[in-house]
């Protein structure tokens, strides 16, 4: 196991199958004694989390704090998750492609939130955990919860939003193709359900952010583009009762996020970050994104869904340039 598990008190703890509040106090003292959480200590904590069946309420916060401290702040470069460290984390928390426990899922999300930068596969992997639950009823979100497979409740939307926000640091402004693919899959597999209205809002904003950035449009930060305020109601005359079922807000809000940052300093910061992000992606940007969207939304085999109409309406109103491949699709909305 790890170096921590070799100490006598912890070795004894590993054999008891139980972790109490007093045990957590002891572990905290052992782990943080030198101010550094090592790889061996992190692996030992994983071993305890996986073997102890009876864990006190203090365990999960301590486990998440200690292991995220190791992977975000102790591994070099500090604050940045390398591909190697990201792969280690995924391997460590995975069982047959799924996170084993809610505690480990919380760890994964907190690592994304604390890191200045992280590999794209970490965000996609975290989103996949929510997809496993809402589509197939599998994974840690099903343990002890009220989640109904095939339906997206507000709690799942909040978790998806949290993951998307977390990956938005250090230039990761635009929603990635991998993230968008997972959101499309969730939408397709839950389309017949009475999902929480917040899902429609997040879905439309996230997919629009991906498509518009891929077209070369300067995006706002993810937090601005995906914020809770609903921007769709002003399009109600176009899309009918769909918007009446959603929370209050305004269509102008999302346009403002793309066009008018709050102050000059924020505007220059956003522009600089957007330029850097677009430069990194420039070699792979072509008509594929337009084709990608058209194939998923407008294949002609079924009517447009309400939130797909909302997505197309947003792109049509907010994007300064429309790729020709999207024009037939956008002509279906006013």
Instruction: Give the model confidence (pLDDT) of 160-176 as tens digits.
Output: 998 998 875 555 567 88
Q: Is residue 1 part of a domain?
A: no
Q: How confident is the model at residue 184 (pLDDT cuts 50, 70, 90)?
A: very high
Range of 54-63, 118-127, 305-314 with top mean pLDDT:
54-63
pLDDT at 263 over 60: no
Task: Classify residue 224: in a domain, yes or no.
Answer: yes
Answer yes or no: is 82 within a domain. yes
> Is 4 contained in some domain?
no
Domain-located, residue 305: yes
Tell me the torsion sign for CA atoms 106, 109, 111, 113.
negative
Structure tokens at 94: 């995975």
Give a yes or no: residue 83 inside a domain.
yes
- Structural domain harbouring 203: 75-330
Q: 77 preceded by cis ω (within 30°)?
A: yes
Report the chain's mean pLDDT, rounded to a whole number. 75
Name the token pair of 264. 């000059």
Concatenated DSSP letters for 142-159? GTTS---TT---HHHHHH
Q: What is the pLDDT of residues 91-144, one digit of tens each?
A: 998 877 788 788 888 999 999 988 888 888 888 999 998 898 888 877 767 555
Distances (CA, A) of 5 to 9, 32, 46, 54, 261: 8, 14, 10, 18, 51
pLDDT tens, residue by residue, 196-205: 988 988 998 8
Is the pLDDT at 285 greater than 50? The verdict is: no
SS3 (DSSP) at 76: coil
Residue 196 lies in a domain: yes
Q: How many domains, in total, are found in the chain?
A: 1
Q: Has residue 53 been placed in a domain?
A: no
What percentage of the chain exceeds 70 in pLDDT?
Answer: 69
């Amino acid at each position: 196991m790890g170096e921590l598990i070799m100490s006598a008190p912890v070795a004894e703890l590993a054999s008891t199958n139980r972790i109490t509040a007093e045990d957590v106090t002891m572990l905290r003292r052992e782990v943080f004694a030198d101010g550094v959480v090592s790889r061996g200590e992190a692996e030992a904590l994983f071993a305890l989390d996986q073997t102890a069946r009876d864990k006190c309420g203090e365990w999960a916060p301590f486990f998440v704090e200690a292991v995220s401290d190791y992977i975000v702040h102790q591994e070099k470069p500090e604050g940045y998750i390398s591909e190697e460290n990201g792969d280690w984390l995924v391997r460590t928390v995975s069982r047959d492609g799924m996170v084993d426990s809610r505690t480990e899922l919380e760890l994964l999300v907190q690592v994304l939130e604390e890191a200045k930068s992280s590999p794209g596969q970490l965000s996609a992997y975290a989103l996949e955990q929510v997809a496993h639950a809402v589509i197939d009823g599998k994974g840690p979100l099903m343990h002890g919860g009220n989640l109904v497979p095939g339906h997206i409740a507000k709690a799942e939307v909040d978790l998806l939003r949290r993951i998307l926000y977390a990956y938005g640091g250090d230039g990761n402004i635009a929603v990635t193709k991998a993230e968008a693919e997972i959101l499309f899959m969730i939408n397709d597999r839950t389309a017949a359900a009475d999902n929480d209205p917040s899902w429609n809002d997040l879905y439309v904003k996230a997919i629009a952010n991906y498509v518009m950035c891929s077209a070369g449009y300067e995006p706002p930060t993810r937090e601005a583009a995906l914020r809770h305020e609903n921007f769709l109601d002003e399009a109600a005359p176009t899309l009918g009762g769909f918007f009446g079922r959603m929370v209050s807000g305004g269509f102008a809000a999302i346009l403002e996020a793309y066009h008018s940052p709050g102050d000059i300093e924020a505007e220059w910061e956003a522009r600089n970050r957007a330029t850097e992000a677009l430069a990194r992606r420039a070699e792979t940007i072509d008509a594929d994104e337009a084709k990608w969207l058209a194939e998923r939304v407008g294949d002609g085999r079924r009517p447009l869904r309400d939130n797909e109409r909302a997505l197309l309406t947003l792109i049509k109103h907010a994007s300064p340039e429309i790729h020709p491949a999207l024009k037939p699709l956008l002509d279906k909305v006013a």
